[in-house]
Amino acid sequence: MTTSAERMRAWTGPAILGFGFRPFFLAAGLWAALAMALRWPGIRHIFSRFARPCTPKTNGKTQRFIQTFLREWAYGLAHPTSAARNADRPGRLDGFNRARPHSAFKGLPRSMLRTR
């Protein structure tokens, strides 16, 4: 049985070595190797461009969103059934993103900001 690192090495090794790069692999995963393999042709991995996973800043924002959403939507309102709660979710998400005041915007909702 081959490990994922061995499969990745077999797949990217010839291509990367042909351009003069020396592949390296981390025990924690293959993300560094994948990023290195995609860097040369100019391909960007979507996660590295928009969000950095497992950082305190990202984790804090995610945890804050989950706390607020649970408090205001899941447990803050009485829904007769789970289906009714799920049907209410899209409107609540839109309200969270657009109508709810944000402290970063001096108490204004996002929809009140000028966009370029």
**Cβ atoms 36, 24 nearer than 8 A:** yes
pLDDT in tens, 2-57: 566 566 666 665 555 555 555 454 445 566 666 666 666 555 555 444 556 666 66
Listing DSSP states for 31-85 in one string gives: HHHHHHHHHTTT---HHHHH--TT-HHHHHHHHHHHHHHIIIIITTS--SSHHHH
pLDDT in tens, 57-109: 667 777 888 888 888 777 777 888 888 888 888 888 777 777 777 777 777 77
Does the reported pTM lie above 0.85? no
Q: How far is CA 32 from CA 25, 49, 69, in A?
A: 7, 14, 33
Tell me the domain boundaries of the chain: 4-50, 56-112
Give percent above pLDDT 70 in the chain.
46
